Amino acid sequence: MITWNNLDTISAYQELQKVAKVNLKEAMMGEAGAERVGKYSVPMAAGLAYNYAAKQVDDRVLEALAKLAEETGLAEKYEALYNGEVINTGEKRRVLHHMTRGQLGEAVVADGVDKRSFYVNEQKKIAELANKVHSGEITNAAGEKFTTVVQIGIGGSDLGPRAMYLALENWAKANNTFKMEARFISNVDPDDAAAVLAGIDVAHSIFVLVSKSGTTLETLTNESFVKDALKNAGLDASKHMIAVTSETSPLAKSDDYLAAFFMDDYIGGRFSSTSGVGGAVLSLAFGPDVFARFLEGAAEEDRLAKNRDMYANPAMLDALIGVYERNVLGYQNTAVLPYSQALSRFPAHLQQLDMESNGKSVNRFGEPVDYVTGPVIFGEPGTNGQHSFYQLLHQGTDIIPLQFVGFKNNQMGRDVVIQDSTSQQKLCANVAAQIVAFACGKADDNRNKNFQGGRPSSIIVGEQLTPEALGALLSHFENKVMFQGFVWNINSFDQEGVQLGKVLAKKVLAHDTDGALKAYSELLNI
């Protein structure tokens, strides 16, 4: 029997607050630092590893965190989630995104349907369509192959799939699995859709409309924009569009689409990259086999998250260290710093994943909490980020924990030797240098050049960013966010905060306004 209690009522949390703080600068100096790098590391799926040597922890802190994991029942709550208990209390829903990539426990039957079988069947349908598009069995009206796929969606229907596409685009080209270019339309800003349409050949483009409800205003507006462009080109829109939606939506059985693939209410948008939301566009872009490998990496990491031993569970460990930084050390932000251009949009995806999930000030029962919850997430790929906001990270008044991601090898296999080292070696050298610089600092009599150090970081490191590694990376952060929500006793799987703006926007468009809302409407000439 699992119990749900606020963090400030947990005795292990009270003990954690009393543990002596680690002097990170001292801990990371000399041979002691080298020993930490070897000691404080845990294997992840797909050959990745989570290294937390430069975090502000020691064996005493870790022991207290292990007690916190046990007392808050993190393993038990994860088990309850993947076995189909109603964990999303706000919307009274199960949380089943893990089941899109594998079954971790018991069979889950909802609405009279075995959900694992349902997700597998939808993936098979997507794979069949993708193969027919690639082979030329499904073509445009002129009998010509489609060369571009365009996803129309917003929020989780854009950020995750877009980040995953960009992450694998160069890998696919280097490994001869690149099938179609993918583009994305998300913002209701007409310039977004216009720019995408101007850069593609619409006659050879297939469009994926993603809307669970089939009523998302921004997405349907962009769909109309696209249909208008197809019509103006003399094309039948129904021969160029597929839908990813729920079985009960108005899009499900519409003649406006070549095909419809289904999702359900048990997968939130920000957790949907491994469902049909990501599956359709990624299978069309890279082939179903690549998407399957991506799922395999995520499934392997999900299985690691079942481990009751915190020290062998990278997502749980990362989550607990994050709670320690947020609630005991008082750090308000986290920077995600991938040293891979392929992960250029990964921080944006994690921003939604973390901040939409854990940006809550009430617990699972709707009661205010008396402690802080989710941090602000931001980031940018290195080394470009080093030449912009790293100044604040190194010498600013706030300490901001850092999450590095790095790979030993690049994706495309092309490089050049300059001054006795390759570009990839220079990239990796910068990662190593930054971790130590943040932790150890540099003393200088000139205060402008003095670095205090003591800035904590971790790194997820791997051989290469492959489909399996990407899946593992995605799963790690999804599970990290989940575990932190469990510790904070909040519902990480609803997002009521995004709804109010939608309601008020509809009032503005209907000219049903007064007060400040009316004044701003007039200011914007609505």
* Residues annotated as catalytic (active site), given as ranges: 356, 387, 502
DSSP-derived pairing of the beta strands 457-462 and 49-51: antiparallel
Q: CA of 466: how far to CAs of 173, 438, 461, 478, in Å?
A: 12, 29, 13, 18
Q: Are 483 and 319 in contact (CB under 8 A)?
A: yes
Q: Are 483 and 74 in contact (CB under 8 A)?
A: yes
SS3 366: coil
DSSP state, residue 84:
T
Radius of gyration of the chain (CA): 24
Q: CA of 399: how far to CAs of 28, 56, 176, 391, 517, in Å?
A: 17, 12, 44, 12, 38
Instruction: Name every residue whose Cβ is closer than 8 Å to that of residue 384 and which is 6 or more positions away in sequence.
Output: none
Q: Are 362 and 498 in contact (CB under 8 A)?
A: no
Distance CA 358, CA 415 (A): 41
Q: Are 241 and 257 in contact (CB under 8 A)?
A: yes
Contacts of residues 503-507 at CB distance under 8 Å and 24 or more positions apart, as own/partner, are 505/217, 506/217
Task: Record the tokens describing residue 464, joined without a space.
Answer: 């290469």
